[in-house]
Amino acid sequence: MNGYNFEEYLQEKEPQKREKGYAWHTAIGLQAVDGLETSGYLLDVAEKSIAGDITFEEANQLIHSYYKENIKHTANDRTEEADKVSVRIAQLLSEKSFVLSPAQYISIHARLFDGVYKYAGKIREYNITKAEWVLDGDTVLYGGALDLRATLDYDISQEREFSYKDLSMDQVIKHLAKFVSRLWQIHIFSEGNTRATAVFFIKYLRTLGFDVTNEIFAQNAWYFRNALVRANYNNIQKGVHETTEFLELFLRNLLLGENNELKNRNLHISGTLNAPKCYENKNNCTLDCTLDCTLDETLVLNLLKKNPQMTQKQLAQKINKSERTVKSITAKLEEKGFIKREGGKRFGYWSVQI
């Protein structure tokens, strides 16, 4: 993650600046759920927005113009995505309007990813799997493509009818953890599901009277995603059961101001993996502190360690990326000396060098 520091804005006495500071802090922090980083230019735009020098509409326009005029930057599509989506998240979190409905959820995704994904605001039409570091390369079972809208409608209707009256805070937090984990597990969007869910959830919490400052989301975005994964994964043979305990710790910090330890290594299904400190510091390396690897590169490395014969097409299907993206990932891993292609194209395999 780029080295940004909004501390002075988070301590602002002027409410409007403080709220904008929290919104931007969260917007940028949430990009970590997909292993993304924002540019230095985005940080300059954020500071101008917080100071009140520009509106969110002007911030959007500045970022749009920046990537339109600076062709060299468009090669890094993911940084462009992170910048554009960050502006939109900050704007949405600064708006007070919200309705607990499927339409609102879908609308948030559409606003966040318009022009970024061709399927922004559209329900996916195919089944997916995603290799997860926290599951040692395994995947959560996501909602089936044919049932997504019906499942979404049902879960949100159940939440609308749910009464929090007379519940203790422990019960409230347990229920909220189950609600957001179910919502996320449906995974109605092909990409950007976690970021859309986080924005939707933050805005919903405010309607329940919680003064959500968003800083916990900003600082622990990757933990939040891993906690969602663990809340929806079972592997009886390995003695792993779905649990919301990690989400509950996150929510207790968020809503009650507690200071529970939120470490990604605690979520890994091995129960013993000592995740590197560099990862806890928001670098994307999950294999070794000395490795300069992104989240997608890490997933590919893990898969190739298990099955060196995997083709780029198979890798693309496993991590839910295009073959073009996987070719770029393997090329970078070869450049870094982490993998090496052995044998011919047809009968060869990937030799992992670490």
Mean pLDDT calculated for residue range 159-170:
96
| C-beta separation of 229 from 134 below 8 A | yes
pLDDT recorded at residue 283:
40
Fold of 287-352: Arc Repressor Mutant, subunit A (1.10.10)
pLDDT recorded at residue 196:
97
Mean pLDDT calculated for residue range 294-303:
78
pLDDT recorded at residue 281:
42
Strand partners, 117: 114
Instruction: Name the least confident of 6-15, 81-90, 214-223, 280-289.
Output: 280-289
pLDDT recorded at residue 326:
86
pLDDT recorded at residue 278:
39
Distance between CA 145 and CA 188 in Å, rounded? Answer: 8
Residues 6 or more apart in contact with residue 154 via CB below 8 angstroms: none
Name the residue ranges covered by the structural domains of the chain. 1-95, 116-284, 287-352
> What percentage of the chain reaches a pLDDT higher than 90?
55
- Per-residue pLDDT band at 7 (split at 50, 70, 90): low
pLDDT recorded at residue 98:
96
Residue 182 has pLDDT above 90, yes or no: yes
Distance between CA 71 and CA 279 in Å, rounded? Answer: 31
pLDDT recorded at residue 219:
83
The H or E element that residue 350 is part of is strand 349-352
Answer yes or no: pTM beyond 0.85: no
Mean pLDDT calculated for residue range 104-120:
96
Phi, psi of 153 (to 5 degrees): -60, -45
Identity of the highest mean pLDDT range in 21-25, 102-106, 217-221: 102-106
Residue 71 has pLDDT above 70, yes or no: no
What is the second-level CATH architecture of the domain 116-284?
Orthogonal Bundle (1.10)
**Pairing status of strand 339-342 against strand 349-352:** antiparallel
